[in-house]
Amino acid sequence: MNSVHFTSGASSHAVVVTRMSDTLWHAVEDDRTVGRGDASLRPDGRLFISIDAWHGATFDRIADTMLEDLPTPLYTVVDEADQDSTSAWERAGFTAARREWGYLVPTDPAVTGLGSVRPPSGVTIVPAGAAEEGRLRTLDRIVRDEVEAAVGWQTMPAEVLPRPAETTVVDPSKYAVAQHADQYVGLVRVAPLPRQPRIGLIAVRADRHRRGIARALLAHTLGSLHRSGTAAAWAEVDESNAAATALFESIGARRTAGTLELVRH
């Protein structure tokens, strides 16, 4: 996320922007660092950049230098409510590519209404840490192929994007799965972050949609978090994902944030 804090002050000193490494730029004015730019290559091969600067003019200087140094397309992410940052990136030629909603998800079954939800007939939930790794990786690849063939995997949160060398499941202990017969048919990934657990992914095989499997996975996951003393989890949903939006809002999740992904071609 970009950190841009603009003030109206002006200075007679020139701002000099220097590329310090392949991924780092420094802006210096009168021997003081007044801003920096960073670049990072996401696992899916997209190049994201960020700029931290106090003045709009400094931001523009850093952006101009980075754009000269780097190939396009370039991407960045901003808080939807931060109009200063959005305007600054638009000045640099970036346009909105997608929007992601942030949801605060309650875990209490009395609030979510999930206390009585059970898996569909023949489906069982395998708790986080108990899934067989080979079958988990097979399901993950199937789900990724289906998403890529439909809306495209770029609509997924950054932390669940494909890794190098086709490594897609980094930590199997973070996944609970839905099992039917000898097949895994659905999964949910939860990162147990210190301040608030994050639901990074919930997905069901296309041939098992509309059977209540995703809802059962969510009921299991949120119920487990509630029993451990966690009051709420965090989830991010692409605005185009109507099914996921409807699922979270149906259990009382509150939309509390929005982020914009911008691109410059």
Q: Is 128 in the same domain as 235?
A: yes
Instruction: Kindly state the helix (H) or strand (E) to which residue 63 belongs, with its residue range.
Output: helix 56-69
- Residue 240's pLDDT is 85
Instruction: Supply the range of the domain harboring residue 25.
Output: 3-93
Q: Find the CATH number of the domain harbouring 138.
A: 3.40.630.30
Assigned domain for 138 exists: yes
Q: What is the mean pLDDT of residues 85-107?
A: 95
- Residue 5's pLDDT is 43
- More confident position, 252 or 193: 252
Q: Is 112 in the same domain as 215?
A: yes
User: Which of 28, 60, 93 lies at the terminal end of a domain, its last residue?
Assistant: 93
Q: What is the mean pLDDT of residues 112-137?
A: 95
- Are 125 and 217 contacting, i.e. CB atoms less than 8 angstroms apart? yes
Using a cut of 0.85, tell me whether the model's pTM lies above it. Answer: no
User: Which of 71, 93, 115 lies at the terminal end of a domain, its last residue?
Assistant: 93
- Residue 181's pLDDT is 92
User: What does residue 82 show for φ and ψ, rounded to 5 degrees?
Assistant: -90, 90
Phi-psi region of 210 (alpha: psi -120 to 50; beta: other; left: phi over 0): left
Amino acid sitting at position 257: A
Assigned domain for 265 exists: no
16-30, 115-129, 152-166, 251-265: segment of lowest average pLDDT = 152-166
